[in-house]
Amino acid sequence: MPIYGTRPEAIKMAPIIKALVASNDFNATVTVTGQHREMLDQVNELFGIAPDHDLNIIQPRQTLNGVLTRTVRGLDELLEQSTPDAVIVQGDTTAALGGAVAAFYRGIPVVHVEAGLRSFNLFSPFPEEANRKMISQVTSLHLAPTAGSKANLMREAVPEADIAVTGNTVIDALLDVADREVAFTDPKLEEVASSGSQLLLVTTHRRENQGSAMEGVGRALARLADRYPDTLIVLPAHRNPVVREAILPALEGHTNVVVTEPLPYGEFTRLMNLAHVVLTDSGGVQEEAPSLGKPVLVMRENTERPEAVDAGTVRLIGTDEERVVSEVSHLFDDTSAYERMSTAVNPYGDGHAASRTIAALRQLFGTGSRLPDFTASGA
């Protein structure tokens, strides 16, 4: 039973669901918590996934404890009736934590996709670092995306036999949509695409950045819009009203700033391809944009995804207004600095993470054996 609740989980779970459905030895009961609504539904729709169960727990301005308790309560009722052989959770959201706890308490094995990421700061990202550590404690099969995430788990005394290195399923998803011909539903974006202008693509939503840090990012974007009037700044705004209230006021009246609703994944991927630079605090975007050869400036103090930082295509810049302005300006103004950061690298996956996941599930159930671990070199 795959269980998920938010946009990034849906994107990263989709290749696994597709592979489970295509197999003739698994029966997938897709369960969504509905922690997100529109942002979740648009992903399921894109990948043709019709969930079997939907707890629909979302509330406006929901609290972490509210999300967790509604998730566990809803799943407990479901798991009482339907008894899957295993549940699959993905990543570090409260949906994933709720899914893991509810299954563990019912004696159902937990399979954790994207296991072993660590920022080594319990409060950043908050609450994700804590969520993924708690999930690891109740997991039977840990599917680490990289050798580094496997090493993190082994340092925490997880038995090596319980860890498979699969690559990140986000790369499977990205490759799935990359070849599709996608038209933008928002006419403003078709104008952006045909303008030929330099494009700065921005996303932000992290809980620990909400409030004054995010207001500073809004002011930084406004200053960049003034400094580079020929550049278009595109911000697909997260649905969270707290995010919108922090970032949007400073951008009003700036005609070269284009704010849109959250984009369907295929459209967002097209926009990443068009972008000159990506400025984000997202986890998934840090994994995708490097594989498209786009420099990524990450508005966080630390990251649990060090591989692309090590490869030189991602830089951590924090959220300080001056620093955001100067780091973006540096990439716009200094061609050689830009070129150094714009090499395409693929440390997170090769598009076969779902196949390795299915093989690892077969080994868990004693019906098959694993595939060789993913290695970034492809060796």
Q: Is 113 helix (H, G, I), strand (E, B) or coil?
A: strand
73, 207, 239, 330: which is the annotated catalytic residue?
Answer: 207
168 binds ligand UDP (CB under 6 A): no
61 binds ligand UD1 (CB under 6 A): yes
Question: What one-letter code names the amino acid at 129?
Answer: E
CB 149 within 8 A of CB 116: yes
206, 238, 300, 356: which is the annotated catalytic residue?
Answer: 238
With CB under 5 to 8 Å by kind, the binding choice for 11 among ligand UDP, ligand UD1, none is: ligand UDP
| 52 flagged as catalytic | no
Stretch that binds ligand UDP, among 17-25, 284-292, 331-339, 359-367 (CB under 6 A): 284-292
9, 54, 92, 208: which is the annotated catalytic residue?
Answer: 92
CB 139 within 8 A of CB 100: yes
Q: What are phi and psi of 257, to 5 degrees?
A: -110, 125
| Helix/strand/coil (H/E/C) assignment for every residue in 211-228 | CHHHHHHHHHHHHHHHHC
8 binds ligand UDP (CB under 6 A): yes
132, 205, 276, 300: which is the annotated catalytic residue?
Answer: 205
CB nearest ligand UDP: which residue?
282
Alpha carbon distance, N-terminus to C-terminus of the chain:
32
CB of residue 143 vs ligand UDP: minimum separation in angstroms?
17
- Find the binding residues for ligand UDP in span 193-222 (CB under 6 A): 203, 205
| 238 flagged as catalytic | yes
282 binds ligand UDP (CB under 6 A): yes
Q: Which residues contact 140 (CB under 8 A, 6 or more apart)?
A: 86, 109, 110, 111, 162, 364
7 binds ligand UD1 (CB under 6 A): yes
Stretch that binds ligand UD1, among 75-83, 162-170, 226-234, 238-246 (CB under 6 A): 238-246
Q: Distance between CA 130 and CA 122 in Å, rounded?
A: 6
Q: What is the Rg, in whole angstroms, of the alpha carbon atoms belonging to the chain?
A: 20
| 352 flagged as catalytic | no
Q: Is 277 helix (H, G, I), strand (E, B) or coil?
A: strand
**Pairing label, strands 232-236, 257-260:** parallel
Stretch that binds ligand UDP, among 4-12, 58-66, 181-189, 218-226 (CB under 6 A): 4-12
CB 121 within 8 A of CB 68: no
Question: What one-letter code names the amino acid at 213?
Answer: A
Strands ordered across the beta sheet of 257-260 = 257-260, 232-236, 199-203, 277-280, 296-298, 314-316
Stretch that binds ligand UDP, among 149-157, 280-288, 352-360, 361-369 (CB under 6 A): 280-288
CA 282 to chain centre: 6
9, 54, 128, 281: which is the annotated catalytic residue?
Answer: 128
| 330 flagged as catalytic | no
29 binds ligand UD1 (CB under 6 A): no
CB of residue 263 vs ligand UDP: minimum separation in angstroms?
4
**Pairing label, strands 141-144, 199-203:** unpaired
In the complex, which residues of this chain contact ligand UDP (CB under 6 A)? 7-8, 11, 170, 203, 205, 236, 262-263, 265, 268, 282-285, 288
Which residues are known catalytic residues? 92, 114, 128, 205, 207, 238
In the complex, which residues of this chain contact ligand UD1 (CB under 6 A)? 6-8, 35-40, 59-62, 64, 67, 92-94, 127-128, 205, 207, 239-241
